[in-house]
Structure 1
Amino acid sequence: MKDYFKVDEWKIIEEGFDPHYNKVAESVLSLGNGRMGQRANFEEAYSGETLQGNYVAGVYYPDKTRVGWWKNGYPEYFAKVLNAANWIGIDVTLGDEPLDLAKCEVLTFRRELNMQEGYLKRSFKAKTESGKEVGVESVRFCSMVDDECGAISYTITPLNFNGEITLTPYIDGDIVNKDSNYDEKFWDEVSKATTNDGGYLQLRTKKTGFEVATATKIVLLQDNAPLEFESTPIEKEKYIGTTVKVNVGAGKSITLLKYAANLSSQNHSKEELANKATAVINRVAAKGFGTILAEQAAAWAEKWKNNDIIIEGDAKAQQGIRFNIFQLNQTYTGEDDRLNIGPKGFTGEKYGGSTYWDTEAYCVPFYLATAEQKVARNLLLYRYKQLGKAIENAKLLGFKDGAALYPMVTMDGTECHNEWEITFEEIHRNGAIAFAIYNYVRYTGDEAYLGDYGLEVLIAISRFWSQRITWSADREQYVMLGVTGPNEYENNVNNNWYTSTIAVWCMKYTLEVIDKVKQADQAKYDELAAKITFDEGTESGRFADIVAKMYFPQDEKLGIYLQQDGYLDKEQLLVTDLPATERPLVQKWSWDRILRSVFIKQADVLQGLYFFEEDYDLETIRRNYDFYEPRTVHESSLSPCVHAILAAKLGDVERAYQFYLRTSRLDIDDYNNDTEDGCHITSMAGTWMSIVEGFGGMRVKDGMLSFNPLLPDEWKALSFQIGFRGSLLNIRIAKEGTTVRNLSDNSVTVMLNGASQLIEAKGEVLMRT
């Protein structure tokens, strides 16, 4: 499906309608504002292939895990974000013919996502079976200013007929998740009401008891002037609507403005939801569509001022990075530490909308550099507040004494992943939580976080590792048995190098933080040690012994770290040996065949070399990269970005560029044939890293920023902005050299190509190539 969308630096454009790609377009053109979101479904009825999706942040359901057997510690449910009430719906009837593009001849069609100003616009002309031709233009958005609200402007024009047009804007709560087990519906009605110009519908989730009140208000315009109307209210189970009939002459237009609000019991009392939703929608509607659309543009302009990355001379690359940044900004704003970042954001229901290790490994760096410090801190606090449940999760698996295993998938801290080889074995996610603490403190300098929150998490994680690791009398070393590494095309392996590496690093870092907190505030340390019953002499000694005596698989002849024991026993094929017809493997091969193959889903050994690159010389990284990348099929969205960053570090600018295009356009070009069920939001933060850490070569060393820039031949220049410890820097990389501008009122020192550079307030330095 390459090149389905038009290339434009600020827009994603679908020109012409192909129903086979409709679900992909619905994903790519999705909208959100951190509090609510929706797929790019049509407002009017559509009987063709579509995946309905409206979502309210933090509202989920514990769907029963559907398996025929159970094991101790196995999750009881798979938490999933719920498809919430459909507020965008506007049924249209032309005379007695319903408007449905699946049953019409589509004469023209254009759908575009305006990323600069944050709205979705759609226009089309269609001919019905009876020959009536009609034109429609709609504009809608989820407000970044009033983040519980959205709005639609829907204009319809009869082109070759005079007659009656019936409009029925509605709220439909009788919806279902596509992936619900046994086709169960998750919402019960609480109350509803209709008025001449709208109404509200309040629903409650089964089991979890979340309540959401969705309210709407409509306005009719003709010739840009308000039009008086009478309506007929409709009330059904979990549904309200308002039917309006209007006579319109050929060439004349009628516009329906529809304002909507979604208020959740997470933020308001259940008893006040309906009244508050009605008050909010009246307030927003009183501003008028033009005003709130202008507010939306201004809010996005403010975001782009600090977040934009400019690539000169390569429109496809430019479109790719802006799309990724746009989706990240409308998925998570950091205002609420109860919320996190689902792998699909507000674009689909796959992966349940839950939190994975993606947040800590990929998303934290983006928010550290592009948002206020509290945003990344809230992502860490999300995990700190769930530490108790992480300890409970570990206890269910037989661990004790305060050992914590963070869940692979969660909404509230409870493990709810429903595949045993992931739930029990993909334990490296624990390391990502610890690495995020390290990354946050390294970047911000906020060492107080360690004493207040971080050390408690680190000790609990290290306790888990110290119990999970086994002493091998045969090797006279510690080993790590029965795990799944980041490469999920391998299950239940022994001594996965990445898992062992990050486990040892966690314990080593924990020991360092213990010393640091004791030196900073002995009383605070003593209080924490008493709270968690930490026996420093015994436990720290165990941590240190494992650090000193851990076994790591490697092959001295090849000079590489082995992904796990026995990896070289596999038939050593390369991806180039695979026929294109057999990819992606996950869709074409049996699971047994995949597990027996040499092929790698995503960075595994290379993930560890990316995290801990300072511990390895360049030639070690190069040997491992050159061995593992040709065996990697990149069928995880998280794979291309890591490979792009490492390729740039190695000076392999062409491979870095190709992997950047793949990660930045993964969904736009549907590389893995899976965009129809939602975009890959968390990997989009990896795309940002592939620019800033890859081509920008940005690292934090000794408390300062360091840059080692690299510019692809295809680009005239690259520029981006970085917030760091109260300073804001603009970095521009061009053929003639790299310019670093200090946009702050304080001076700052950076490392540029290994040389220290002091940049005065509002000053700049140029290092020529």
Structure 2
Amino acid sequence: MLSYDNIRSDDLRNWIFSEVEFHPLALGKAEAVMSLGNGYMGLRSASEEPYIGEKRNLLVNGTFNKFDEFEVSELPNAADLTRLDIVIDGTRLSLERGTVTDYERSLNLRDAELVRSFVWEYGGKKIRFRFRRFVSLDRLHQIGLLAEITPLEGGDVSLVVRSGIDGQATNSGSQHFHEGEKRIYDKTYLELIQTTTESKVDFVLGAAHHVKINGEKTDLAPKMDIDRRRVAVSYSVKLEEGSTLAFEKLATVFTSRDREFDGDSSLDRVRQTALEELRSMHSAGYDALFEKHCAAWAKVWQQYDISLKSAHSFDVLAIRFAIYHLVIMTPAHDHRMGIGAKGLSGEGYKGHSFWDTEIFILPFYIYSNPVVARALLEYRYLGLEGARAKAKENGYSGAMYPWEAGWPSDGEVTPVWGQVDIVTGEQTKIWSGFIEQHITSDITYAVWHYYKATGDQDFMNRFGYEIIFDTARFWASRLEWNEAKGRYEINEVVGPDEYKEHVDNNAFTNYMAHFNIQLAMEYYETLREREPRLFEELNRKLSLEQAMAEWIAKAKLIYLPEPNESGIIPQDDTYLQKKVIDLSPYKAQSKVGSIFDDYNLDQVGAMQVSKQADIMMLFFLLEDRFAPEIKRANYDYYEDKTLHDSSLSMSTHSILANDFGDGELAYKLFRRATEIDLGPYMHSSDAGIHSASLGGIWECVVLGFAGVRMLGGELHLNPSLPDAWEELSFPLYWQGQRLKVELERHLLRIEADGEAEVSLTVHGREMKFTKQLQISY
């Protein structure tokens, strides 16, 4: 069970949440939601002592590997650095034996530190344990752990602590590494080398220790041990009652894929760099390293400074939780890497990037840290190689982005087989990698969104135009002519609603493809007139003149589903003719996907039931193309049929509900979104956190309740705070300036950090200001 108000001081209020009871059958929740990271690596927060069912994950961004030819690439689970085998009077520490009191495991979001403490009573002795852990944001390759052990009652104890680097870790059984070298330097510095089996990425992991008793360093000599895929040391000591042993473990993680090794990623260079870093860490110690880490996080909270005054303090914690995880999952250090659907908090979705990044996470960075937003889009530019290969393999032109992406050049990495079919007992085929194609236009939309909000012309010249043109070339080749109806269609696809497979003319897919082609046509003319040299370069590369002729011929004939007599836009050609059933038991579910306890996917596909927002996503992204009454009619129709079985869904519906003036529903859906990971459901995050949902929480706040939108390149604000909120403030980057936006119930204040004039529209009123604006609304 999680607690949200266990604070030690007022300055940490709404910065900490805690696990207040140990559950051996529900380990995954805290492991994932309390995970640590810095964008370079993610460390799942398994406890120091081992338990059956635990997941010890250390994932380093961008190090993808294929176990064999029959599997897709995934982030390999590197050697474990966190396990400690602690033996008290000959008995291994385990909370499944003895009596445990005062248990608490907490994540301090402000300082990004994990703290676990408890009192363990066994064999007539009572001992207090306290564990601390951080993954440095100051130095991306550093991990710090500290264990404090104090016998309280029952006399002295005989204590053994065994610590090391364990390369026997796997990805749920798949071993991604060759057996590597192991060594201990000067009886102090442990080193283990791993190399991935297929991608040949070298990992160099190191660890060193300090042992102190009552604050004084000891000269205990460790027992050294090297075995298959592991290297370790153990320390033995007689610890007096009332004394405290402090055991520091300082660790380093380097790989040959790290940017600092560009030009020379030889193993010798990597291991020498790693050893120097480890020696430096060992000299500094946990406290000094942690202090620098905290200073780095203080800058993060200044950068993403959201302030909220709410009647429900959980709202404040939830927003901070979302930002914390967005920071630790994002590879801000390296544009060759994307964001996984589970971040770096678990093996779910194998570390692959989806449309989650562009639609749900990128807006946070566009408006809060455009430098990072650009890096994430450069990752997609690097992915053009794989996208072009996928298009060619499928018989199309241009760039067809993979549904799941890993290393940029890998192309499509979606697994082919998934969960069980409850009717046949066979594995269900995953069709997304074959026919869920809207991601191609989603990426183009994100490029456009970034450009319009930032004005970054350099990005467009170097990367953006090429993405837009080549994705439009794909869509033009993907269109299918229907002679009988005299129109171009897009058939046999999966839209955002993944409960409907092999559908024709999914409205979201068709409209977004049309948007993609129209955008390419617009920028074709712009580039030809303003940047003729760049135009000629891209023309030679992509045959733009030929492509433009095709776009002109086809764009006006693309079928875009229109509202019927009731104002409802059909989600696809057959959705509105499908069977309607009572969905109330499933809409009240305590776990997602409960409908599959009663039906298989084919049966669900024959019903008017949606996994997540589909038509609603269209209204969210292209909102100025649809009349308000059409959006409202469709919202009322499809919300009733949407189970929100995807974590992506509730934030979109919340934003639209707020647009329609249904503040109560908007806030309810926002709260449900915040509880996907942070809420009471103890198995919701076993495979890792839900990265898109966390981006969606920020979207609910800034794009929803504050009403921030980019419409046709113009900034709009339509604030409508929930009844529970009195004040909201947040930073907003727009056209190169950082704006500080402050909202009260009917008051808006904006302060700009630059001198340029800012144009915006607030609740339909166009206005301009320099430096400061204050209006009532």
Place the TM-score, normalised by the shorter chain, in its bin: over 0.9
Residue range with higher mean Cα deviation, 378-387 or 205-214: 378-387
Q: Residue type matched to 1:266 in 2?
A: R
* SS of residue in 2 equivalent to 1:718: strand
Q: Closer, same or farther in 2 for the Cα pair 1:554/1:566, shift >3 Å?
A: farther
In the alignment, is residue 353 of structure 1 matched against residue 351 of structure 2? Answer: yes
Name the residue aligned to 1:327: 325
* SS of residue in 2 equivalent to 1:356: coil
Name the residue aligned to 1:211: 202
1:127, 1:26 → 2: CA distance? Answer: 24
Matching residue within 391, 404, 407 for 1:408: 404
Deviation at 1:286, TM superposition (A): 2.2
Name the residue aligned to 1:285: 282
The number of aligned residues is: 746
Name the residue aligned to 2:308: 311
**Within 5 A, what are the aligned runs for 1:15-54?**
15-44=20-49, 46-54=50-58
Name the residue aligned to 1:150: 143
* SS of residue in 2 equivalent to 1:602: coil
2:137, 2:754 → 1: CA distance? Answer: 26
Deviation at 1:638, TM superposition (A): 0.8
Matching residue within 171, 180, 191 for 1:177: 171
Matching residue within 464, 484, 499 for 1:474: 484
**Within 5 A, what are the aligned runs for 1:115-134?**
115-128=109-122, 130-134=123-127
1:537-583 deviation per Cα after TM superposition (whole angstroms, max 9, x unaligned): x4323212332112233452221111101111112235336474696
1:494-525 deviation per Cα after TM superposition (whole angstroms, max 9, x unaligned): 11111111111100001011111112211210
1:28-60 deviation per Cα after TM superposition (whole angstroms, max 9, x unaligned): 10000111111111112x224312211111112
Runs (4+) of structure 1 exceeding 6 A deviation are: none
1:612, 1:628 → 2: CA distance? Answer: 17
Q: Residue type matched to 1:342 in 2?
A: G
Name the residue aligned to 2:96: 102
Q: Closer, same or farther in 2 for the Cα pair 1:736/1:443, shift >3 Å?
A: closer
Name the residue aligned to 1:549: 557
Q: 8 Å contact 1:481–1:494 — kept in the other structure?
A: yes
Residue range with higher mean Cα deviation, 562-571 or 98-107: 98-107
Deviation at 1:363, TM superposition (A): 1.6
1:216, 1:485 → 2: CA distance? Answer: 47
1:144, 1:448 → 2: CA distance? Answer: 29
In the alignment, is residue 735 of structure 1 matched against residue 728 of structure 2? Answer: no
Q: Percent identity?
A: 27
Q: 8 Å contact 2:4–2:14 — kept in the other structure?
A: no
Q: Residue type matched to 1:457 in 2?
A: I
Residue range with higher mean Cα deviation, 341-350 or 651-660: 651-660
1:630, 1:718 → 2: CA distance? Answer: 31
2:605, 2:683 → 1: CA distance? Answer: 21
Q: Closer, same or farther in 2 for the Cα pair 1:403/1:341, shift >3 Å?
A: closer
* SS of residue in 2 equivalent to 1:518: helix
In the alignment, is residue 193 of structure 1 matched against residue 161 of structure 2? Answer: no
**Within 5 A, what are the aligned runs for 1:223-372?**
223-267=214-258, 268=261, 269=265, 270-313=267-310, 314-371=312-369
Residue range with higher mean Cα deviation, 523-532 or 550-559: 550-559
Q: Residue type matched to 1:470 in 2?
A: E
Deviation at 1:479, TM superposition (A): 1.2
1:666, 1:139 → 2: CA distance? Answer: 26
2:201, 2:618 → 1: CA distance? Answer: 40
Gap regions ≥5 residues in structure 1: 66-75
Name the residue aligned to 1:69: none
Deviation at 1:127, TM superposition (A): 2.1
1:568, 1:347 → 2: CA distance? Answer: 39
* SS of residue in 2 equivalent to 1:391: helix
Q: Report the TM-score, using the length of structure 1 for normalisation.
A: 0.93
Q: Closer, same or farther in 2 for the Cα pair 1:410/1:728, shift >3 Å?
A: same
1:742, 1:246 → 2: CA distance? Answer: 60
Q: Closer, same or farther in 2 for the Cα pair 1:530/1:51, shift >3 Å?
A: same
Q: 8 Å contact 2:331–2:339 — kept in the other structure?
A: no
Gap regions ≥5 residues in structure 2: 7-12, 417-429
2:454, 2:718 → 1: CA distance? Answer: 20
**Within 5 A, what are the aligned runs for 1:629-668?**
629-668=639-678
* SS of residue in 1 equivalent to 2:538: helix
1:57-104 deviation per Cα after TM superposition (whole angstroms, max 9, x unaligned): 111222447xxxxxxxxxx64121111111112211112111122333
* SS of residue in 2 equivalent to 1:275: helix
In the alignment, is residue 62 of structure 1 matched against residue 61 of structure 2? Answer: no
1:731, 1:454 → 2: CA distance? Answer: 29
Residue range with higher mean Cα deviation, 98-107 or 471-480: 98-107
1:436-486 deviation per Cα after TM superposition (whole angstroms, max 9, x unaligned): 110111111123433322222222211211121111111111111100001
Deviation at 1:758, TM superposition (A): 4.0
Q: 8 Å contact 1:451–1:517 — kept in the other structure?
A: no
1:632, 1:114 → 2: CA distance? Answer: 35
1:102-147 deviation per Cα after TM superposition (whole angstroms, max 9, x unaligned): 333322210110001111111011123x233221111110000011
In the alignment, is residue 560 of structure 1 matched against residue 568 of structure 2? Answer: yes
Name the residue aligned to 1:680: 690
2:484, 2:680 → 1: CA distance? Answer: 49
Over the aligned positions, Cα root-mean-square deviation in angstroms equals 2.0
Q: 8 Å contact 2:587–2:643 — kept in the other structure?
A: no
Matching residue within 131, 147, 169 for 1:138: 131
Name the residue aligned to 2:392: 395
Q: Closer, same or farther in 2 for the Cα pair 1:64/1:606, shift >3 Å?
A: farther
Q: 8 Å contact 1:442–1:703 — kept in the other structure?
A: yes
Name the residue aligned to 2:597: 588
2:555, 2:119 → 1: CA distance? Answer: 67
Residue range with higher mean Cα deviation, 192-201 or 146-155: 192-201
Q: Residue type matched to 2:571 in 1?
A: Q
